[in-house]
Amino acid sequence: MNDRELVEFVLAFAGEINALQRRYAPHLPAEREQGRTAALLEAYRAEAGLIYARYLTERERTYYTPLSVPPTYAAMEEMTLSTVERMNDRAVVEIITSGGLLDYRFKLVCREGEWRINSYQQRVHTETRIRRWVYGDF
């Protein structure tokens, strides 16, 4: 993949997770009220697992990106800049967003000719302050 394709790969992953969260999050309050949260979260995790299988490195994951309003990667929809740094079979894709929201840094690896996301970090970036990068959970 060239640099632009790596950025598009990361954005496609984020877009699918955002769409999944937007589909499930509105149902969470009613399910909590009726004590059926476990079934909803199980269905969410099953669909998230299919997305993870297409985009993330293979490894046991104890966490899934939780349901979030706004979605976890919503800030990426307002991307203003992306950078790609490559080191042999590894790449770092940074997505800088507008509006003083979150910035994202995705670390990718290429194994057997296929690129996969291995981890990501995020930070708050406002006009007056840039916080340190912290790891997010998949």
The total number of residues written for the chain in this structure: 138
pLDDT grade for 31, boundaries at 50, 70 and 90:
confident
pLDDT in tens, 91-105: 999 999 876 678 999
Taking the CA atoms of residue 50, residue 54, residue 55 and residue 56 in that order, the dihedral angle to the nearest 10 degrees is: 70
User: Cis ω on the peptide bond leading into residue 66 (within 30° of 0)?
Assistant: no
pTM: 0.90
Q: What is the CA radius of gyration of the chain?
A: 16
pLDDT (tens digit per residue) in 38-94: 888 889 999 999 999 999 999 877 666 778 888 989 888 887 889 999 999 999 999
